[in-house]
Amino acid sequence: MRLFVALEIPAAVRDNLAALLEDFRSLSSRLADKRPRWVWPENLHLTLKFIGEVAGEKIVAADQGAALRLNFKARKVFLVLGTASGRPLQASITLDGKPVGSNAGKDAPAGTVTVARNTLYELIDQHTMKHGVLEIRAQQAGLEAYAFTFGS
């Protein structure tokens, strides 16, 4: 997994870039064996600092406010979470940049998950399968994230 510090791009700029990317995609289809790896428009960003590859089994929030974003297509999103200290921690959940509302999973009522132990937490339940961008933001340092799973 790649770890970096980035800025979000305003939606209007991202939409213009996405249109340009479509043009480049059509051109790259003519390349024999040197096809680039394209990203979803929702994942376009301005990288300020590339930190490196994370090869471990988990990532740990180093500071309060550290966030993890996932672009997905599913009805339900689950994440194995834990705490580095063993003390309960909280994290806020958003979906497509907004409060989760009625799409909150059973373990994240009102868009907040309390992580009291290492286990699987249901963060999102959209009631039907569809695309979304989930963001989980640690309210304290020490939140551990291990693996996402999905349900239909």
Residue 80 pLDDT class (50, 70, 90 cuts) = very high
| CB contact set of 33 (below 8 Å; sequence gap of 6+) | none
Per-residue pLDDT at 135 exceeds 80: yes
Query: ∠ at Cα 114 (108, 118), nearest 5°?
Result: 110
Give pLDDT, residue 118.
Answer: 92
Domains in the chain and their CATH numbers? 2-52 (no CATH), 57-151 (2.60.120.260)
Contact 144, 83 (CB under 8 A): yes
Least confident of 32-36, 117-121, 133-137: 32-36
Give pLDDT, residue 28.
Answer: 66
Q: What is the pTM of this model?
A: 0.68
Residue 39 pLDDT class (50, 70, 90 cuts) = confident
DSSP state of 41: G
Mean pLDDT of 34-39: 69
Per-residue pLDDT at 29 exceeds 80: no
Residue pLDDT, tens place only, 2-16: 767 777 788 888 888
| Proportion of the chain above pLDDT 90, given as a percent | 54
